[in-house]
A and B are shown apart, each in its own frame.
Chain A
């Protein structure tokens, strides 16, 4: 047998990989594009942003052109599409990375300042800030009151929104069945999703002015304003999650002689709970950074106020806003802006933790399929 076989000719390159660019081609083109880009920019005046753009264009043109010559039309089109997709991805990512980088760089000095997390702005005046700038004294004052306010207001808003939103979603999915009331609710929920946040704040403020008395500004009013923004998000996400629970599970429960409300409570909601919980967490992340509605409903405080039902209350977004707009010391705004960046960093960390929490919740509650 083996004697009759012709030996395979030994070749340096497989005929199957003929007409391909070398593996290092993109790197070669990138290096060339960077050099040529730098040369072109040197003529008109160098700046890194322009260099990036010129390099990207040269890289795409070079790689696609080279590919068209060596590999043919189809491969060249493939390379062009890859360049466009990757380019779009980088463009989308740049602002995000830039924001995180800026907040980190500017926020860390504020965050590590002594007492930043544990003290309020009570009694911190321009004198301290002037001293910090002129004599190098440490920047005093912190965000404890604002952090406390944000957590309490958001928690109260969640406590209001989740039952209302979840029950609405249950009505829409399980009982609505295209009734005119259900269609009306869906319509108004859609409208509510588009409400500008300042309008929600004005609504809550006006509502409490009418009920409690003019000038009522407390954390609870802010929580109501935030729940106006949160409820439609909770309704929408819970509705979608309840809808994807297979009808077969409901029928299985009915066929066992289980009542509808028990089926909803013990079969439908547990099946959808992971999606509902992560939807709620994302809704919290959405409203935790709201500024305008809190300014008009909770006012602004420099001292610690742990009672949401009385007195003005600070929150992280309004803290940032006032520190930037009305620095504690108008002649030396740097300590104020350092505190604002620190608060911004804390806010971003909170939102990231919430997003991580949503993923964790989704994983913990997800129906398991082990053997």
Chain B
């Protein structure tokens, strides 16, 4: 239940402004790939193009190919809704639906699409997803309570449970821990480690220690200056990127000399 992603010569534009230039990267199935780099270098923008979420932003468009196990996401006639049901996303700020209970939040992907599901199946899916997100023990007695009553870290794990409930192939995470305290961050990092047994995980992070801790492969993005497009500088095994990078810019960044 996981697929690989191959990106070929991808350019991302905001209207006429070239935001990310010429990215080619292979993301292995059942692995964790981390994107690091300074603010504004296009990591999040690029991440959003992997499930066509950039199309929500007016004026954003891409050139190039993103292949999910060989199928081009941007091929003619491909419905972005189909793409997003295969490639889920977790956002920077926890965003549970405030009008729904914890249970309904987990079932949101099913219920909002009006798929029929028996109560037994739904209960099983809720438990499986919440266990998968390491949240079951904390919320099993209050599934009918609103999701917004949870702590920030619990809300983020609820969002992860919601994302895995639709059984995607790939999970994209856009700085999922930047709004959380260290203990919640640890819980999410443990979770990411468990998730890679089943899913392909791509995570954007500002925290280099986090990238080093959780990822198998790391991609370093950089920007030449304000108004210039962001570029993929280097991608490789996390160990190599942090200990023996081939590019000077990568070495400067991971050793803390800039950024």
Interface residues of A (CB under 8 A from B): 177-178, 246-259, 262-263, 266-267, 270-271, 367-371
Contact = CB atoms under 8 A, between A and B. Distances in A.
Contact of B84 (A178, A248, A257, A369): A257
19 contacts: A177-B58, A178-B58, A251-B91, A252-B91, A253-B108, A255-B91, A256-B84, A256-B112, A257-B85, A258-B81, A258-B108, A259-B81, A262-B114, A266-B111, A267-B99, A367-B98, A368-B148, A369-B148, A371-B142
B163 A367 contact: no
Nearest to B109: A256
B113 interface: yes
Contacts of B196: none
Contacts, number: 90
Given A255-B53, A256-B162, A263 B112 contact: yes
B259 interface: no
Given A251-B95, A257-B166, A262-B114, A370 B146 contact: yes
B89 interface: yes
Given A367-B98, A369-B146, A369-B148, A257 B82 contact: yes
Interface of B: 51, 53, 56, 58, 81-82, 84-86, 88-89, 91, 93, 95-99, 108-109, 111-114, 142, 145-146, 148-149, 159, 162-163, 166
Nearest to B92: A248
Given A255-B53, A255-B163, A257-B113, A248 B95 contact: yes
A258 to B, nearest CB: 4
B116 to A, nearest CB: 15
Contact of B88 (A255, A259, A262, A368): A255
A262 B113 contact: yes
Given A255-B91, A257-B85, 4 more contacts: A249-B97, A256-B88, A257-B86, A271-B99
Closest 6 CB pairs of A and B: A257-B85, A367-B98, A255-B89, A256-B109, A248-B95, A371-B149
